[in-house]
Amino acid sequence: MSELIYRIDQVVEKKSLLKHPFYKMWSNGELGLNHLQGYSLEYFQLVKVVPEMVNNIKLKLEESELRSTVEESHKEESSHVEPWIRFATSLGIQEQDLLNYVCVENTKNAVSSLVELTKSTLDEAVCAMYAYEVDLPNISRSKIEGLNKFYNLSNADSTNYFEIHQEADIRHADIWRNMIKNIPGHRHEFCFNAAVKSLDAQNLLLDAVYEKYVKPFN
């Protein structure tokens, strides 16, 4: 394992979304339906731009087998928007309300930060994306367990998005990991900082959900 991958993996563990108060409440069965509904509305703002994030990386690559692989990842991510819509509607959200929803400022800032990171240099964009996807299989598994155990949400519409990401993001993270191995040493600090910014943005998005939909009612 390269030193850069090791450092990013360490900070992913340190800043893991599973340690965020909102996801802890999810895993402990402490959320209500209204909290999950709010989460589905806010987090959709990120879900719908992930294809753009991957495409930003693809556009930096020369025609090659790697570019084709990233293009396949982009197509996959584009197909993941619909399962999220089904997740939200399984919680009682109307599809049109989801599509028209105006998010809070911190969600907007978090999503904007993640998109901008993928518009940076190729190596920084890849590290930001790796920091986003590498822990998603674990997070998705935890979400499914919580939905099944505490919220009586085990139907396909409720869990399909997370089931997809249990598997897909293992492959996606492998793409970025293999690219990171080739990043020269003098670029490591810039790339590590991009990964940290990615994690901070992800946590900011959960902060936004918590502040709007949980904290006022606690």
Let me know: does 43 contact 210? Beta carbons within 8 Å: no
* Domain count across the chain: 1
Using 50, 70 and 90 to split pLDDT, how confident is the model at 216? Answer: confident
Residue range 51-77, pLDDT digits in tens: 999 999 999 999 999 999 999 999 999
Positive or negative, the CA dihedral 53, 56, 61, 63 is: positive
CA angle, residues 113, 128, 43, in degrees to nearest 5? 55
Mean pLDDT of all residues in 121-132: 99
State which residues form the domain around 109: 3-217
Q: Count of CB atoms within 10 A of residue 105's CB?
A: 8
Rg of the chain in Å (alpha carbons)? 17
Residue 1 pLDDT > 90: no
CATH number of the structural domain spanning residue 62: 1.20.910.10
Q: Count of CB atoms within 10 A of residue 63's CB?
A: 7
Let me know: does 2 contact 180? Beta carbons within 8 Å: yes
Q: Which residues contact 141 (CB under 8 A, 6 or more apart)?
A: 162, 166
Residue type, 70: V
